[in-house]
């Protein structure tokens, strides 16, 4: 199987085009055997149970935390690309912004603190246009 998408780090950083998606999200734990909310945008099966990322309106009844915004990096990155998320996360870390990255088949996605979403977007936009 071949990997599609860009793998050149310089090209990825220059073309990442961060897009703030609408809505506020929460990380939540689904109780053992409980149904995964149909609107979950991320689902992770862990030994302790299932973690989901859902719109805050879908978190009722779940143990939830980390109100966040969802930013998609619009460049089509290869799943085998080396250093892309490390560089992006390092830039956010320099600004003191936490980030929870998730890679999809086509794009990388970042969940950043809700109250710092505009600042995170600005940091990423600067990174896309310069060092």
pTM listed for this prediction: 0.91
Among 103, 97, 89, 93, which residue's Cα sits nearest to residue 116?
97
pLDDT of residue 2: 46
Percent of the chain with pLDDT over 70: 95
pLDDT of residue 60: 87
CB 91 within 8 A of CB 127: yes
pLDDT tens digit string along 42-101? 999 999 899 999 999 988 889 999 999 999 999 898 888 888 999 999 999 999 999 999
Domains in the chain, please, with CATH?
9-129 (3.30.2130.10)
pLDDT tens digit string along 10-43? 888 888 999 999 999 999 999 888 899 999 999 9
Interior angle at CA 27, CA 116 and CA 13, nearest 5: 50
pLDDT of residue 13: 87
């Amino acid at each position: 199987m071949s990997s599609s998408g860009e793998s050149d780090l310089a090209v990825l950083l220059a073309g990442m085009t961060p897009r703030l998606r609408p809505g506020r999200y929460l990380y939540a734990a689904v109780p053992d055997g409980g149904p995964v909310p149909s609107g979950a945008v991320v689902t992770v099966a862990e030994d302790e149970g299932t973690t989901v990322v859902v719109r805050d309106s879908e978190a009722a009844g779940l143990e939830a935390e980390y109100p966040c915004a969802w930013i998609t990096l619009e460049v089509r990155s290869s799943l085998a690309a080396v250093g892309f998320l490390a560089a992006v996360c390092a830039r956010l870390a320099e600004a003191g912004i936490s980030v929870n990255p998730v890679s999809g088949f086509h794009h990388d996605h970042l969940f950043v603190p809700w109250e710092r979403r505009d600042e995170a977007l600005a940091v990423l936009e600067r990174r896309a246009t310069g060092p």
